[in-house]
């Protein structure tokens, strides 16, 4: 009686060994680190690594390690002071063509990483990092939407051959001015049929007849909601491209977004990425007007002066055919005919229709691709670092429309494959639907995070020691077995968090502390049942068997109700509440395994298969 078959003992042993293996990476410290990646016209290669080593040697800074990665270079340092000194030295040595991002990196041995063992992620409150509160300019979102309506109405008037004087747009809406009342009335009907979401009305102004179109309150709210949702999606895509572990990006209130990046230490780099505006615009070239007149200050009303990448002036029509907002997918590659770097673009339904209509009407005419980007330039003047943002709008490609096209096409004229990849990435992430403003920024240092880790670790240790002492004193040998199961339970929780690459936060540690207290509940039920069986005159072996069998249903019922509570917390909670729910859920599952199957295996090894006169319980 009370003997497990060999396979069951091997399963328990295997679970313990796997748990120890995947929990082991968490004992290693986090090193201050720096990631170097290339920007436009720059790639990280062996030559870059040589320049980095030379710059560090010249500055007298010793790196703990330099690890080449795909398109990046990871530098580890002994302390934060060396990390900051290295950043200053490398910024001056590498210039603005490279991005230096400060972070933390766990010094896990290569053989562990190769086997898939990684430490669990630590949240902002434990690892340190950056907290940013972003405000979305909702008025700009409405204005941008009205600008699109103005362009669409202008095109609609041309399509229906309705002669108008001007189309003007302001924060209130769009006004179309006519000289003839009959034409105005016809335009009123056409605009009302095409744009059913707009409130369309007429007005007289002197000798002019006007049609006014404006958005209603509900439509404005919908535009603002869409702008906020799209900005959240865009920011999430951009942050994911940075490779930050478990970022938190969520809405706060009606117009604000919270971004938390655990481990990140460079707010400047974060702001640069979050506010980046790399996108494309497709416009027709105004080849009928004089470029020289535009250079002399006489720009035609419906046109705008741009420059190509080699500095040549070019006159483009103000009307935008499609923008980055209408791009649904983008990938980089090479043009099969010229071999040049290219970005292959796919448009949404509205953008595809507009592109097909324009290209059908303008076959043989030139169309330009405008590249729009906000670049951050860092220079050193008299030893002082000066950073400024430079808005760039340049024409990267001008080509004749050979035949109509719509949903999918390619854009060439890029400088390098790296630039094509970066542009495709930002286009996939999408453009910001409305401008953003960083209203609050907090950087939590790794030292403060380490204090939180130490205090959380102390709470777990103190809780475990007190529970273990009580169990050992009150239940003797059986209590020591329960203590062994408690330690195993903690190891398995850490192992599962590491395997799932879940994020541990302070509330998560609270969940672990709660689990430590709850983990022995099952053993208390089992041991008290065994004591009751002994008092009723059962033999020690029969008491052990009955204790585990009869207490099982009670243990399962109690833990299932707690599991349901954890699932509800995770489903409806946010942020810290989810962190608490995850560790609680995992802790309940592991405690059931260790307290029922694990302790039974050890008790069977101690007492099973032999005659026992008395139990130490």
Count of CB atoms within 10 A of residue 131's CB?
Answer: 18
Secondary structure element (H or E) that encloses residue 200, with its range:
strand 198-205
DSSP alpha helices (H): ranges in 167-309?
181-194, 217-242, 267-274, 291-295
The answer to whether 213 and 174 are in contact (CB under 8 A) is yes
Distance separating alpha carbons of residues 174 and 177, to the nearest angstrom: 10
Average pLDDT over residues 280-306: 85
DSSP 96: G
Q: What is the three-class DSSP state of 415?
A: coil
Confidence of residue 242 (pLDDT cuts 50, 70, 90): low
Query: Beta strand pairing status for 198-205 and 208-215?
Result: antiparallel
User: For position 460, what pLDDT does the model report?
Assistant: 81
Distance separating alpha carbons of residues 424 and 293, to the nearest angstrom: 36
User: For position 100, what pLDDT does the model report?
Assistant: 77
Confidence of residue 260 (pLDDT cuts 50, 70, 90): confident
User: For position 415, what pLDDT does the model report?
Assistant: 66
Sheet holding 327-334, edge to edge: 327-334, 341-347, 408-411
Distance separating alpha carbons of residues 181 and 211, to the nearest angstrom: 10
Distance separating alpha carbons of residues 134 and 501, to the nearest angstrom: 27
DSSP 374: E
Structural domains in the chain, CATH included, are 6-25+446-607 (1.20.1640.10), 30-107 (3.30.70.260), 139-220 (3.30.1360), 276-431 (3.30.1360.200)
Give the pTM: 0.60
| Distance, CA of 433 to chain centre | 17
Supply 584's token pair.
Answer: 């609680």
Q: Would you say residue 548 has pLDDT above 60?
A: yes
DSSP 595: I
- Backbone phi, psi, residue 299, to 5°: -80, 130
Q: Would you say residue 277 has pLDDT above 60?
A: no
By C-alpha distance, which of 92, 49, 63, 45 is closest to 380?
92
Q: Would you say residue 610 has pLDDT above 90?
A: no
Q: Would you say residue 233 has pLDDT above 80?
A: no
With pLDDT > 90 as the criterion, what percentage of the chain qualifies?
A: 8
């Amino acid at each position: 009686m009370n003997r497990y078959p060999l396979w069951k003992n091997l399963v328990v042993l295997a679970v313990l060994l796997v748990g120890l293996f995947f929990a082991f990476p968490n004992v290693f410290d986090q090193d201050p680190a720096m990631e170097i990646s290339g920007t436009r016209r720059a790639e990280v290669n062996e030559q870059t690594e040589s320049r980095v080593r030379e710059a560090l040697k010249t500055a007298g800074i010793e790196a703990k390690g330099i690890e080449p990665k795909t398109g990046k270079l990871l530098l580890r340092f002994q302390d934060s002071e060396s990390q900051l000194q290295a950043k200053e030295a490398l910024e001056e040595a590498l210039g603005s063509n490279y991005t230096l991002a400060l972070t933390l990196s766990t010094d896990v041995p290569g053989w562990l990483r190769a086997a898939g063992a990684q430490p669990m992620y630590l949240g902002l409150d434990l690892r340190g990092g950056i907290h940013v509160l972003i405000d979305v300019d909702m008025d700009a979102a409405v204005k941008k939407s009205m600008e699109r309506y103005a362009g669409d109405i202008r095109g609609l008037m041309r399509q229906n051959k309705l002669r108008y004087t001007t189309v003007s747009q302001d924060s209130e809406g769009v006004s179309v001015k006519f000289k003839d009342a009959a034409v105005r009335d016809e335009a009123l009907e056409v605009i009302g049929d095409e744009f059913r979401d707009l409130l369309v009305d007429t007005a007289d102004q002197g000798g002019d007849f006007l049609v006014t179109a404006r958005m209603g309150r509900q439509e404005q709210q919908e535009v603002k909601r869409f702008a906020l949702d799209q900005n959240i999606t865009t920011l999430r895509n951009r942050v994911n491209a940075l490779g930050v572990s478990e970022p938190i990006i969520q809405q706060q209130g009606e117009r604000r977004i919270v971004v938390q990046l655990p481990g990140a230490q460079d707010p400047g780099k974060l702001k640069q990425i979050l506010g980046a505006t790399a996108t494309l615009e497709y416009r027709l070239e105004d080849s009928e007007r004089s470029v020289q007149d535009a250079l002399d200050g006489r720009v035609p009303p419906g046109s705008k002066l741009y420059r190509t990448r080699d500095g040549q002036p070019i006159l483009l029509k103000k009307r935008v055919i499609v923008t980055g907002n209408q791009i649904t997918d983008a990938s980089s590659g090479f043009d099969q005919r010229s071999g040049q770097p290219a970005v292959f673009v796919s448009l949404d339904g509205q953008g595809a229709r507009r592109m097909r209509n324009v290209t059908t009407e303008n076959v043989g005419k030139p169309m330009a691709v405008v590249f729009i980007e906000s670049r951050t330039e860092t220079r050193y003047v008299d030893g002082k670092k000066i950073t400024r943002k430079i808005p760039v709008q340049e024409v990267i490609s001008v080509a004749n429309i050979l035949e109509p096209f719509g949903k999918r096409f390619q854009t060439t004229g890029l400088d390098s494959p790296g630039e094509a990849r970066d542009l495709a990435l930002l286009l996939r992430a999408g453009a910001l639907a409305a401008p953003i403003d960083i209203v609050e920024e907090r950087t939590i240092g790794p030292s403060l995070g380490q204090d939180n880790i130490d205090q959380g670790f102390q709470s777990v240790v103190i809780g475990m020691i007190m529970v273990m002492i009580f169990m050992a004193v009150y239940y003797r040998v059986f209590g020591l077995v329960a203590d062994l199961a408690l330690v195993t339970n903690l190891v398995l929780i850490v192992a599962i968090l590491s395997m799932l690459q879940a994020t541990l936060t302070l509330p998560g540690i609270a969940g672990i502390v709660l689990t430590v207290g709850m983990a022995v509940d099952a053993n208390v039920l089992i041991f008290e049942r065994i004591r009751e069986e002994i008092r009723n005159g059962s033999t020690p072996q029969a008491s052990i068997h009955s204790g585990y069998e009869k207490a099982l249903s009670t243990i399962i019922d109690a833990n299932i109700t707690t599991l349901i509570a954890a699932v509800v917390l995770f489903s409806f909670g946010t942020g810290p509440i989810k962190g608490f729910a995850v560790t609680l859920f995992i802790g309940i599952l592991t405690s059931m395994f260790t307290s029922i199957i694990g302790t039974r295996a050890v008790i069977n090894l101690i007492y099973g298969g032999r005659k026992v006169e008395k139990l130490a319980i």
